[in-house]
Amino acid sequence: MGGEYRHIGKATPRKDARAIVTGKAEYIDDMKLSGMLYGKVLRSPYPHARIKNIDTAKAEAYPGVKAVLTYKNAPGWMAGVPYHRPVLDSTVRFVGDAVALVAAETEETADEALELLEVEYEQLPAVYDMEEAARPGAPQLHERIPGNVFPRGFRSIGEKALQELVMGDVEKGFSEADIIEEATCAYENIPNPLPPEPPGVIATWEDPEHLTLYTASQSAPMNRNFAQPALGLVDIRVIGMQCGGSYGTKNANFIPMAHAAALAKAAGRPVKVYFSKEEHFNAYTLRLGSRIHARIGIKKDGTVTALQGEWFVDTGAVSEMAQVQVAVGLGETQLLIRCPNWNMQPTLVCTNRSPSGVVRGFGGQELNCALLPLITVVMEKADLDPVDFFKKNYMAPGAGFYWRDGIWRDYRGIDFSKAIDKGAEVFGWKDKWKGWNKPTVVNGAKRIGVGVGLHGNADIGEDESEANVKLSPDARAVVYSCVSESGMGERSALCKMAAEVLNLPLDRVNITPADTLVNPFEFGLVGSRGTYAVGSAVIEAAEDARRQLLELAAPVLGVKPEELDTKDGAIFAKNNPQKKIAWYKAMGIARTITGQGRFETDFSLCNCMIIFAEVEVDTETGKAELLRVVASTDCGQIIDPLVLEGQLHGSLGSAGIDTAIFEETVLDKDTGHIMNCNMIDYKWRTFADLPKFESIMLETPVESHRFKAIGVGEIAPAPGPGAVLMAINNAIGKRIMTYPATPDKILKALGRI
């Protein structure tokens, strides 16, 4: 489709590419403010304990130490839903929880001061399993969370926020089913996706009511949105630095922000808090744990008649916004399975493991990765090809769903069947699929199996965005949009959209830094909303600026504005291109033009990603090796093919496919310590271990905005784990219903151990 456009659909250099490869891009750890101190955190060695006494005298007297905070003198700021996580507390609830904070002239001094803190703990019983934590008599973690079960709902996403999925009549649905199966699956031993750059924040108070935060963030405005109510509605300015990867995890950032801000307030100087890699492993947010007990009824033709289940969600010791993730998950599962009769009951539980927070996938991946293996049980009983099942049941025009706000949406998007079929064709599904629990190839002890997974998200149109586009007389444009850069290339994509509307060379369009003081409102880069939601605001702003420009030029050229066009800084009559003037002739040299754009929430569209996986299993060793992946999507007009290709490759790694094979958090439930929290014991894929990867990117126009495009980045990893687990099950002829399918689980399933 890109042939009709000048920039859209073309592979172009990113705006920040040269700065990144030459080392000029400034990351949070590169930055040092005048008088800046370094903040460090004393962390709990116990999973659950009460601080009986903490002596700070030696640390406070240590040369170079400027502030020491404990629960006794820390600000009373609170985070979580409901508020349950203070800056510091007299009770610690996971190994790595914050006990005290120190700010000093150097990092070394701060580390040495931590060792001078004397803490007396009273150890308390700990609980790590979500179902055990929800039972009567379990150790209690928070006074505000009785029974360790979080209250449902989150009013900020609507009075009817989706708290459960109940529709139709499940008993009637089961009575109509030809096949009914019941099973349990767990997607819960989940690691931090571990972006290369750890979390980091610099905080400085301009005065008691004005706080500036510099963040290594995926979404600088979201940092402000979360921090402001928690910190008492002080005026907060957030400046987003270049971000060395996020995978969703650096969206909220409340705790490092709160620690830096508290120390800066106490010391009266700027403070940087920058996690070590060990802290990144131990003390930062993990993915939600997910376990489902479900009963599913279908007809022989693959029509799903009823789905009833208990969904247990483990948020660890604290929750940033898990209720919203649960609501989104309940919405996304309706995209995967069109079923008239539901009763899905979530229970959100806190346990004594590291906290959960925002991670790429945001609730839907957690739910559907656990649900997909359960659905395969009934598919197998009906002897259904899973590709045919997905085509029959995935969201299509004429259907609808309840989204996170509890409001019904009629789906007005495209049919994704072509993307499913094309992916199957390229993968060779018809030849490779031999039926359930049957390998494609047997070569001695090694067997190859295939699997497929599907996922989608309607958050591509979530929440609001505003943008301005400013034109200057020298035929340049600046996009004002508070969008951070964490690797997705969205800032460059927004410049391309504006350049296309204004018909300017791409090097004449730039974008402002991610600074909440300078830019209009922006929600943040989450849920694949950059292309549709943010893009719509930028396009509208560019169109508004162009309209004003042509209105100024019209009397100069003696024609109506609609009879004019512009290219490369010249304005000309459409029917007489030789009749033209430069922008400055229309604008004058003492004027700029600013166009405004705004996007309002629209949940009536969704995206789709299907992943095919081929896995070889060694039945003697239990090793599973991912051989080949085919990812297929239809995203309307591609904005930049190389950027999209990179997003699809993001299906690999600890945010996605590799959670099905080897990436996991190994927790010692005797001590509460994570056993593989270092770069040696934590197993992950290197570039040398990458499988063959093929991307299919179709371009069916979507009625979104001027360029008929939607985003897909958020969902790229989500179908992968289920596809890989299905492939392993087919290779060995046995079912594994927990992730990851490590060698010991495979050998146990085969009866070898």
User: Residues 266, 337: one domain?
Assistant: no
Each residue's pLDDT tens digit, 60-109: 999 999 999 999 999 999 988 888 999 999 999 999 999 999 999 999 99
CA distance 716 to 610: 9
Each residue's pLDDT tens digit, 695-713: 999 999 999 999 999 999 9
CA distance 643 to 681: 32
Selected residue with higher pLDDT from 707 and 281: 707
Taking a C-beta distance cutoff of 8 angstroms, is the pair 186, 737 a contact? yes
CATH number of the domain to which 587 belongs: 3.30.365.10
Residue 45 has pLDDT above 70, yes or no: yes
What per-residue confidence (pLDDT) applies to 190? 79
Question: pLDDT band at 694, cuts 50/70/90?
Answer: very high
What per-residue confidence (pLDDT) applies to 252? 75
Question: pLDDT band at 194, cuts 50/70/90?
Answer: confident
Residue 2 has pLDDT above 60, yes or no: no
CA distance 441 to 323: 44
- Range(s) of the domain holding residue 711: 289-460+604-749
What per-residue confidence (pLDDT) applies to 100? 98
What per-residue confidence (pLDDT) applies to 231? 84
Each residue's pLDDT tens digit, 25-37: 999 999 999 999 9
User: Residues 342, 271: one domain?
Assistant: no
Give a yes or no: residue 180 inside a domain: no
User: Residues 119, 258: one domain?
Assistant: yes
CATH number of the domain to which 278 belongs: 3.90.1170.50
**The two structure tokens encoding residue 90:** 């007299």
Give a yes or no: residue 169 inside a domain: no
Residue 139 has pLDDT above 90, yes or no: yes
Q: What is the mean pLDDT of the chain?
A: 94
Question: pLDDT band at 651, cuts 50/70/90?
Answer: confident
What per-residue confidence (pLDDT) applies to 260? 97
Question: Nearest Cα to 365, choosing from 697, 659, 711, 683?
Answer: 659
Give a yes or no: residue 136 inside a domain: no
Q: Residues 381-408: what's their mean pLDDT?
A: 96
Q: Residues 392-406: what's their mean pLDDT?
A: 95
User: Residues 365, 498: one domain?
Assistant: no
Give a yes or no: residue 542 inside a domain: yes
Residue 253 has pLDDT above 60, yes or no: yes
User: Residues 484, 568: one domain?
Assistant: yes
Please confirm whether the linkage preceding 136 is cis (ω < 30° from 0): no
Residue 1 has pLDDT above 60, yes or no: no
Beta-carbon contacts of residue 578 (< 8 Å; ≥ 6 apart): 572
Q: Residues 217-246: what's their mean pLDDT?
A: 88
**The two structure tokens encoding residue 581:** 């003037």
In the chain, the percentage of residues whose pLDDT exceeds 90 is 84
Please confirm whether the linkage preceding 270 is cis (ω < 30° from 0): no
CA distance 63 to 657: 49
Domain end, chosen from 259, 283, 307, is at 283
Give a yes or no: residue 719 inside a domain: yes
User: Residues 110, 257: one domain?
Assistant: yes
Report how far Cα 364 is from the mean position of its chain's Cα atoms. 10
What is the full DSSP assignment across 496-555?
HHHHHHHT--GGGEEE--SBTTTS--B--S-TTHIIIIIHHHHHHHHHHHHHHHHHHHHH
CA distance 216 to 29: 9
Residue 674 has pLDDT above 70, yes or no: yes
Q: Residues 299-309: what's their mean pLDDT?
A: 97
Domain end, chosen from 599, 630, 658, is at 599
The residue type of 526 is: V
Beta-carbon contacts of residue 27 (< 8 Å; ≥ 6 apart): 197, 216, 241, 242, 243, 244
The SS3 assignment for 626 reads strand
Number of domains, the chain = 3
Residue 3 has pLDDT above 70, yes or no: no
Residue 693 has pLDDT above 80, yes or no: yes
What per-residue confidence (pLDDT) applies to 663? 87
Q: Residues 503-509: what's their mean pLDDT?
A: 97
Selected residue with higher pLDDT from 195 and 379: 379
Give a yes or no: residue 160 inside a domain: no
User: Residues 649, 575: one domain?
Assistant: no
In the chain, the percentage of residues whose pLDDT exceeds 70 is 100
Give a yes or no: residue 143 inside a domain: no
**The two structure tokens encoding residue 229:** 């109510």
- How crowded is residue 577: how many other Cβ atoms within 10 Å of its Cβ? 11
What per-residue confidence (pLDDT) applies to 415? 97
User: Residues 366, 437: one domain?
Assistant: yes
Instruction: List the strands of the sheet with 200-207, edge to edge.
Output: 65-69, 98-104, 37-43, 271-274, 200-207, 210-215, 235-240
What per-residue confidence (pLDDT) applies to 607? 97
Domain end, chosen from 572, 599, 626, is at 599
The residue type of 375 is: I
What per-residue confidence (pLDDT) applies to 154? 75
User: Residues 279, 298: one domain?
Assistant: no
Residue 654 has pLDDT above 80, yes or no: no
Selected residue with higher pLDDT from 689 and 600: 600
Question: pLDDT band at 490, cuts 50/70/90?
Answer: very high
User: Residues 100, 232: one domain?
Assistant: yes
What per-residue confidence (pLDDT) applies to 193? 83
User: Residues 309, 439: one domain?
Assistant: yes
User: Residues 381, 327: one domain?
Assistant: yes
DSSP label of 534? I
Q: Residues 3-7: what's their mean pLDDT?
A: 88
C-alpha pair distances (Å), 237 with each of 313, 368, 574: 34, 37, 45
Give a yes or no: residue 179 inside a domain: no
Q: Residues 546-567: what's their mean pLDDT?
A: 97
Question: What is the dihedral angle through the alpha carbons of 419, 420, 424, 426, rounded to the nearest 10 degrees?
Answer: 10
